[in-house]
Each structure stands twice: as structure tokens, then as C-alpha cells.
Amino acid sequence: MTERIDFETQARYIQEVRERIGSIRPDRKPPTYYIRTFGCQMNENESEKYTGMLEMMGFTPASDMETADFVLFNTCCVRENAELKVFGHLGALKGLKREKPWMMIAVAGCMMQEPHVVEEIKNKYKHVDLVFGTRNIHELPKNLYERLTEEKCVISVYDTEGYIPEGVPLKREHKYKAWLSIMYGCNNFCSYCIVPYVRGRERSRAPFDILEEARILAEDGVKEITLLGQNVNSYGKTLEEKTDFTELLYRLSEVKGIERIRFMTSHPKDISDSLIIAMSELDKVCKHLHLPLQAGSDRILKEMNRRYTKQRYMDIVSFAREKMPRIAITTDIIVGFPGETEEDFLETLDVVRKTEYDMAYTFIYSVRKGTKAAEREDQIPKEVKNNRFQRLLEVQDAISLKKNREYIGRIEAVLNEGPSKTDKTVCTGRTDTNKIVNFMAPEDTVGEIINVRITDAGAWSLEGETV
Ligand code: SAH
Ligand code: SF4
Ligand code: F3S
């Protein structure tokens, strides 16, 4: 049974921290915070919770890591690269903390669920003040209070399975769109993947809590929600109430004010025809399906424990396109899984060419300690992995460009998210099919879904003008 933890238990600590906040900096000004997030959207959503709690306790945003009084790294361990970056940052902050002894450094997220990482932090990174596991987010007020009163490193990493904290305050990064986590954890144990070990067993939030959150978001001006889970197709399996993801989509479509619903990720093994039919019937559900392929060879798929075949995968894609001809399909692909031969890799290229993905996130296989594939002796040499990766990129980049160029001349509904981060003179937004569009637009259309004529296209984004 999933236990529900309400955030109210932290109220006393929030008060205690608020009372001590003025004594953190020598000049007694309110301390500032900076959060750096690695990894997936789930982590971004959780960073918004850390932000919400910090602001509730009186912290204010810092413009960069160097000037912040409280720095938090929300980490990812799905590939080695992301881990190395975090250790790099921690090393660099050592000197800074010597100059600014009141500074606090916190590390949170998936890496902290790996026992060897916590050991390394205890032994080599003694300047770290707080460590949070993936199921300890809501404990920030309590742990911060302990850190302020006891001057020691506070580590809280649970391996307790199956509870869901509700009511954690959150500060959204975007005004008109929001992440909405509907389930946590994963039970699939794909043989290359560390997520089930660091995120625990799959558990779904109650439909009531999800619908309530959607209503509150809508009241706050949110137009677009993205439902998050490692495998949204198995939503509801852990609930007493008999329900599933398709039903959730129908219910969320009823929420007034929410105009667009996105979701990720769908696992091909559990995708149902009823989900595709629901997507085609529900106007608010965006016509975009992120369907990770991982590999095209049946033998590799089997060894990855993905539990579908190349043919079954291609059939899902055909059915989705038959029901929704303009649907965008994106994917995740791994090259260089142990034992992958040239023939296996060609099977992956074959699916990529036939499916013509709108976009693919491509990864080089990274050995993850504790997973089944890590123990294999037939690891692929680096040069071979790199070569396959480059070849895959070349094929997919050409397809992405071709797919995007098909949009030129079309009129697309785009949610105007406001000025682009990189160029303040243009607005940015996404089509229903999740393509990024940059365009000029009157200021009063920010936050609205407007019609944009697509005038140009590159492999990563589209250009347009409002009509
Ligand atoms: N739950 C999602 C994936 C989450 S991880 C799903 O099953 O689709 C995001 C992506 O990282 C995966 O789809 C996979 O392509 C990639 N990935 C996971 N483990 C990896 C590893 N050990 N090496 C390289 N890429 C990996
Ligand atoms: Fe990892 Fe597979 Fe779970 Fe996705 S479904 S998180 S790839 S184990
Ligand atoms: Fe990374 Fe954790 Fe997400 S390992 S991909 S941040 S679930």
C-alpha cells in the first residue's frame, strides 16, 4: 500500500528556519539560493519543489552559483557524464566555501541513492552540508533546521519503498506550462538502466490529487500540463481504485482552463490501442508521442529486457499515424549496448529510416554499476560506439530537418510562452506536435494559443510569423 505523507509535518521546521534566517549571513541579509538541475523532467519538477520550500523559508534567488549562499545540485545518474559533472562542481566549490564559511552546499536526487556516491561525498567532499535521496525531498525544512542548529552534515536517504508526499509547495519555472508528476519509480528493470534502483518501485498518485493539482494550476493561469512518469502506460496499477492512464486523460480533459495535455514517457510494451484512440479523440491531448525505441534488433531488445519486438514497435507507430496522420513521434535510442553487432546496429538504423522520427535523443551506452548489463564481458569498444553514434546522428539529423521543413507554409497553433531566453526580441513557443517555434508577436498574446505561419525550419526549431 502506498502511504501518503502530507507536507504539514514540516510546518514547525519552516517556522524555526525562518526565525534563524537572519543569522546565516554575516551582514544579516536574507540568504540567496541557486539550484542546478541535471537529468529528466521529473528532476526539473522536483527542483521546483526545492525552490518552493526555500522561498517559503525566506531564501531569495541568486543570479549565479558563485554568489549564492545555498547551492543545491539536483543530480542524475542515468549516464556517467552527468555524474562526473556534479563531482566537478563540488570540487570547484571547495575553495569558495573556504572564503564564505556560511555557505551551504546540498546534493539531492538520483545519484544520492547510490551508496558508493554517498560514501565518496562523506570521505572526499566534506564541505557538503546536506544530502537528500529521491524520497526525501519534503524533508528539506527539517534537515535545514538540523544543519543550522547542529553544524553537521545532515544525510537523509531512505530506501523505504512506496510513499508519496503530497502538498509540497512548489515554485514553477514557467508561467503558462507546468510539469505534473502522476507516478514515481519504475518496475521495468531494463538491463542497462539504473532508474529502478534509485527511484524505487512504481507507485501512482491518486486521481483525485492529480485532478486537484491540475485545477489549481489552471486557476493560476497554466494552459499546458505535461504529465510525468517513467512509464505512464502503467499508471494506476498500484492504486486501489480501478483506473488507468487512458481514463486519467479523459478526466483531465474536463479540467477547465487547461488547454493542452502532454505526457511522457510511454513504454512500447504497455501502450494500448485505447490510449492511441483517446489521443485521437481528445482535442486537448497534444499529437505527440514520445516512444523510446532503444534498439531495433530483436535480440538486443530481448537482452535489454524491453519486452517488445521491432515489428510490434513498428505496428504501434503505424496505428498511431493511421489514427492521427499529423502526429509527431520522437524516441530515445542507445548505441553500443553490450554485444551489439554491426547487424544489430543496422536494424536500429532501419527502424530510424522507416519511422522517420521528428526527433531522436541518442545516447552512447554507459555502464551503470549494479545493473545487469554492467556485468557483461562483451562491452563494445569506445571507438565502435562513437562511430555508430555518429552514423546514427547523421541519418536522424537529415530526417529531423526534412520533417521540420514539411511545416513551412503551414499555420500552426502555438502557445506563446513569451520572449525567448536567447533572443529577447522574439517570442518562443511550441506547436501541438512539440516543435519549438520562434516568432514575432504582440505582447498581449503572451500566454495565449495563437496561430503562427511557419516561414522557415532548421533541424531543431521553426521560424514563424503571427497571422
Ligand atoms: N523511463 C523512460 C526512460 C528514462 S531514462 C523510458 O523507459 O523510456 C531516459 C533515457 O536514457 C532512456 O530512454 C535511455 O535511452 C537512456 N539510458 C538509460 N540508461 C542508459 C545507459 N546506461 N546508457 C545510455 N543511455 C541510457
Ligand atoms: Fe529505465 Fe526501462 Fe524503467 Fe525506463 S522503463 S526508467 S529505461 S528501467
Ligand atoms: Fe536521471 Fe533520475 Fe531522471 S537518473 S533521468 S534524473 S529519474
Write down all domains in the chain, each with its CATH number in brackets: 2-156 (3.40.50.12160), 172-405 (3.80.30.20), 411-466 (2.40.50.140)
Which atom of ligand 1 lies at the shortest distance from residue 193's CA?
A: 19
Q: Which helix (H) or strand (E) holds 67?
A: none
Inter-residue contact 162 to 1 (CB < 8 Å) = yes
What would you report as the CA-atom Rg of the chain, rounded to the nearest whole angstrom? 23
What is the number of the ligand closest to the CA of 230?
1
pLDDT higher than 60, residue 17: yes
Cβ count within 10 A of residue 411: 12
Position 5 scores a pLDDT of: 84
Q: Yes or no: say if 352 and 314 are a contact pair by the CB < 8 Å rule.
A: no
Averaged pLDDT, 85-98: 96
Mutate to test the pocket of ligand 2, among 193, 269, 293, 302 (most ligand atoms within 8 A of CB): 193
Sheet holding 60-61, edge to edge: 60-61, 32-37, 70-75, 104-109, 130-132, 154-156
Could you tell me if residue 161 is left (phi over 0), alpha (psi between -120 and 50 degrees) or otherwise beta? beta
Amino acid residing at 230? Q
For 190-246, write each residue's pLDDT tens digit: 999 999 999 999 999 999 999 999 999 999 999 999 999 999 999 999 999 999 999
**What is the C-alpha to C-alpha distance for residues 49 and 352, in angstroms, rounded to an integer?**
37
The per-residue pLDDT for 151 is 83
Ligand 3 site, CB within 6 A: 39-40, 42-43, 76-78, 109-110, 195, 198-199
Sign of CA dihedral 270, 276, 282, 288: positive
Side-chain-side CA neighbours of residue 228 (13 Å): 15
* CA of residue 54 to ligand 1 center, whole Å: 31
User: At 111, which amino acid appears?
Assistant: M
- Integer Cα distance of 306 and 337 in angstroms: 13
pLDDT over 90 (residue 165): no
Residue 1 binned pLDDT confidence (cut-offs 50, 70, 90)? low
Q: pLDDT tens digits for 326-342?
A: 999 999 999 999 999 99
- Residue 159: pLDDT band (50, 70, 90) is confident
State the pLDDT confidence band at 160, using cuts at 50, 70 and 90.
low
Q: Which residues of 82-99 are buried (b: 16+ CB within 10 A; e: fewer)?
A: bbeebbebbeebeebbee
Mean pLDDT of the chain: 96
Ligand 2 atom, smallest distance to 187 CA: 3
Q: Which residue has the higher pLDDT, 137 or 3?
A: 137
Q: Which residues line ligand 1 (CB under 6 A)?
A: 78-79, 192-193, 195, 230-231, 265, 267, 292, 294, 332, 334, 363, 365-366, 368
The arithmetic mean of pLDDT across residues 428-452, rounded, is: 96
> In sequence order, what E strands does 222-305 have?
224-228, 260-264, 288-290
Per DSSP, the three-state class of 387 is: helix
Strand intervals (E) in 182-239: 183-184, 203-204, 224-228
Ligand 2 pocket member 305 (CB < 6 A): no
Residue nearest to atom 7 of ligand 3 (CA): 195
User: What pLDDT was estimated at residue 36?
Assistant: 98
The beta strands (E) that lie in 203-310 are given as 203-204, 224-228, 260-264, 288-290
The per-residue pLDDT for 39 is 97
How far is ligand 3, taken at its centre, from the CA of residue 134, in Å? 10
DSSP 8-state class, residue 294: B
